[in-house]
């Protein structure tokens, strides 16, 4: 997984495109790899099925949703008071640290995801779950 972002792009004609294509977006992620990250890091407590809550709320449509907004899930007061929208940038910030540090008083018990590439992959995957 580490090497795929470091390899140059080669066109069918064999022309090196990496330099011509410009830099890749800083936060580009691999949604397929992100599905694996979701299974290993999130699926015990969260579902990606709409309306299917587990210990945590469904993450269906999480990207672009206001925090604490699902009507059929009982959020902690801390998350209900959080005045933010789950943008890719906010998810990246939130997932990079323990949940209780990001949102003191939350019910979520998660130590954070240290690997920036895995965070980007996960966020890319969550962006497809609509």
pLDDT in tens, 30-84: 999 999 999 999 999 999 999 999 999 999 999 999 999 999 999 999 999 999 9
Which pLDDT value is given to residue 28?
A: 76
Contact 113/36 with Cβ under 8 angstroms?
A: no
Report the alpha-carbon distance of residue 9 to residue 113 in Å, rounded.
29
List the CATH code of the domain at 29-68+75-128. 1.10.760.10
The DSSP secondary-structure symbol of 107 reads: S
106/1: higher pLDDT:
106
Which pLDDT value is given to residue 27?
A: 55
CA dihedral 20, 25, 31, 37 (to 10 degrees): 130
With 60 as the cut, is the pLDDT of residue 6 above it? no
Q: What is the mean pLDDT of the chain?
A: 85
Length of the chain: 130
User: Domain segments of the chain: what residues?
Assistant: 29-68+75-128
Report the alpha-carbon distance of residue 65 to residue 127 in Å, rounded.
11
With 70 as the cut, is the pLDDT of residue 129 above it? yes
Task: Say whether 55 sits in a helix, a strand or coil.
Answer: coil
Q: pTM for the full model?
A: 0.78
Region 1-25 average pLDDT:
42
């Amino acid at each position: 997984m580490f090497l795929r972002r470091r390899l140059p792009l080669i066109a069918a004609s064999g022309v090196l495109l990496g330099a011509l294509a410009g830099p890749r977006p800083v936060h580009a992620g691999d949604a397929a790899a992100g599905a694996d990250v979701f299974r290993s890091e999130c699926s015990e407590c969260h579902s990606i099925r709409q309306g299917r809550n587990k210990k945590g709320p469904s993450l269906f449509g999480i990207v672009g949703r206001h925090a604490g907004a699902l009507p059929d899930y009982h959020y902690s007061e801390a998350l209900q008071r959080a005045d933010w929208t789950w943008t890719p940038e906010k998810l990246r910030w939130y997932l990079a640290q323990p949940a209780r540090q990001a949102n003191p008083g939350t019910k979520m018990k998660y130590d954070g995801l240290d690997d920036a590439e895995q965070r980007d992959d996960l966020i890319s995957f969550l962006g497809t779950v609509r």
